Amino acid sequence: MKRPYKNQGFTLVELSVSVTVIAFIVAGVVEGGQLVKDAQVRQIAANLKQLQASVDQFQVEYKELPGDMVDAQAQFTNSSFTINNGNGDGYIQNDGEDEQALLHLSLAQVVPGTYSGTGNAVPGVNVVGIGSGTVIGFGSGVLYGSPIVNWMSVARPTANSTVFYQNSALSSDDAYSLDTKIDDGIANTGRLLAFNGTDTVGGVNDVCNNGGASYLPSNSKLTCILRYIWQK
């Protein structure tokens, strides 16, 4: 006569081991995700500093700003891309000078790679790509009541748009981390300034800092666009 099968299930020790293993896996996934975010923040910081150094080098050699230089067509004659002159007012305007800036820098060989100087914002083509759709582009304007300043934007471009600084690129936590690395950690003062992104998800606008000094909790949602003042 066969003995009936008895399902004894898991012992407490086995359950404990299983829960511990799962906890380690979850912790590893969370930690891995944070490491990726930290690496992106470090890369953005490095790119901003490198681009500023490249512009400084360009100014020393040409006595003008990339994108804004009035004699770009005369200076750079061996390009397959369309070269446009700027107006020489000392600001990289958001009227095409911002698109030409990286082209001028690449033709002067102070940044690696080549850039088209025109067209829709495409990472590695006419803007600096950071990964995950985040780009760095040039521009100028009034920020939080300042005089007109030259800045670099950290943002995601709107689809099929030449606007480099429209959509959110970082969560408020990551934006704060970047701010503390290269500036004062305050959202609306210093050289790195934060703004609400223009993305709208489910009818809710992005909220980064609402114009205030503090970065607001975003639960890892991309809510911030950043502008780094590299020259006043």
- pLDDT at residue 70, rounded to an integer: 97
Domain that holds residue 140: 15-63+120-231
- d(CA 117, CA 98) in angstroms, rounded, equals 8
pLDDT digit string, tens, across residues 157-207 = 766 555 556 788 899 999 999 999 999 999 999 999 999 987 655 545 688
Please give the tally of structural domains in the chain: 1
In a domain, 217, yes or no: yes
- pLDDT at residue 4, rounded to an integer: 56
pLDDT digit string, tens, across residues 202-225 = 545 688 998 999 999 876 788 899
Is 139 strand, coil or helix? strand
Q: Which residues are CB-neighbours of 193 under 8 A, at least 6 positions away?
A: 143, 144, 151, 187, 226, 227, 228, 229
In a domain, 5, yes or no: no
In a domain, 45, yes or no: yes
In a domain, 137, yes or no: yes
Mean pLDDT of 7-20: 62
pLDDT tier at 97 (50, 70, 90 boundaries)? very high
Q: State pTM to two decimals.
A: 0.80
- pLDDT at residue 78, rounded to an integer: 75
Given a cut of 50, whether residue 30 has pLDDT beyond it is no
In a domain, 51, yes or no: yes
- d(CA 210, CA 34) in angstroms, rounded, equals 25
Pairing of strands 128-131, 134-141: antiparallel
In a domain, 91, yes or no: no
In a domain, 79, yes or no: no
Is 196 strand, coil or helix? strand
Residue with tokens 């990726």: 36
- pLDDT at residue 204, rounded to an integer: 58
In a domain, 31, yes or no: yes
Helices 12-62/172-182 angle, 10° precision? 50
pLDDT tier at 17 (50, 70, 90 boundaries)? low
Given a cut of 70, whether residue 34 has pLDDT beyond it is no
Percent of the chain with pLDDT strictly greater than 90: 50
